[in-house]
C-alpha cells in the first residue's frame, strides 16, 4: 500500500509506494490556493495530512499558509472544506498545522461521519471541523478547556474513542 505524504515547501501532496516510487497526486508546485483536479490544484505549504479510510479514502490536508483545510478525493479532486474566518481575531484556522480524523458511526448503524481535528499554529488552539464544515475551537486561546493552553501546537493524533493527543 502506498503512503501519502505532504511536501510542504514544494506545495504538493505526494504518494510513496512501498518500493520507494514517488508520485505527485495533487498540487502544481506553485504556492497558491486553487481547488481542482490533481496537479491543477494549488496548495501553499501543506503541513499535515490525515486519511478517512472508512469513507472513500479521503485525504484531509492542513494547508498552512492558505489558512484552510482541504480534501483530496481518491480520484485526486481537491476541494476546500474549511477556511479561516473573515476577521483574524476570530479565526480558528490561523496557520493550520496538524490534522487528525476520527470516524464516528451513528448509534443507528448509519454511515460513519468524519470529525476532523486541526491544530492552529499561530492562534495557539485546537479546532474541530464537523462533517458539515463548521469550525469550532475546542481548546487553546479561546477554547472551552480552561487548562488547555498551547504554544504553536502542531502534530495531532486521535484514538478510536475520539481522544485527541
pLDDT digits (tens, 9 = 90+) for 33-75: 999 999 999 999 999 999 987 766 889 999 999 999 999 998 8
> 19 is written with which cell numbers?
518500493
Specify the pLDDT at position 106.
74
> Low-confidence residues of the chain, pLDDT below 50?
1, 87-90, 143
Residue 116: which of 106, 107, 103 has the closest Cα? 103
DSSP state of 26: E
Q: Which three cell numbers stand for residue 108?
A: 443507528
Return the SS3 of 71: strand
Q: Output the pTM of the full model.
A: 0.85
Amino acid at each position: 500500500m502506498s503512503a501519502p505524504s505532504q511536501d510542504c515547501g514544494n506545495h504538493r501532496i505526494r504518494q510513496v509506494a512501498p518500493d520507494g516510487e514517488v508520485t505527485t497526486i495533487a498540487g502544481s508546485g506553485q504556492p497558491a490556493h486553487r481547488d481542482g483536479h490533481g496537479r491543477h490544484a494549488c496548495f501553499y505549504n501543506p503541513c499535515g495530512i490525515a486519511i478517512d479510510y472508512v469513507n472513500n479514502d479521503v485525504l484531509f490536508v492542513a494547508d498552512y499558509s492558505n489558512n484552510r483545510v482541504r480534501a483530496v478525493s481518491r480520484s485526486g479532486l481537491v476541494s476546500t472544506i474549511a477556511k479561516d474566518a473573515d476577521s483574524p481575531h476570530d479565526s480558528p484556522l490561523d496557520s493550520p498545522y496538524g490534522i487528525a480524523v476520527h470516524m464516528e458511526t451513528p448509534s443507528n448503524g448509519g454511515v460513519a461521519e468524519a470529525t476532523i481535528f486541526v491544530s492552529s499554529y499561530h492562534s495557539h488552539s485546537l479546532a474541530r471541523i464537523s462533517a458539515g464544515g463548521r469550525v469550532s475551537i475546542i481548546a487553546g486561546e479561546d477554547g472551552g478547556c480552561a487548562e488547555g493552553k498551547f504554544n504553536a501546537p502542531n502534530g495531532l493524533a486521535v484514538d478510536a474513542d475520539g481522544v485527541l493527543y
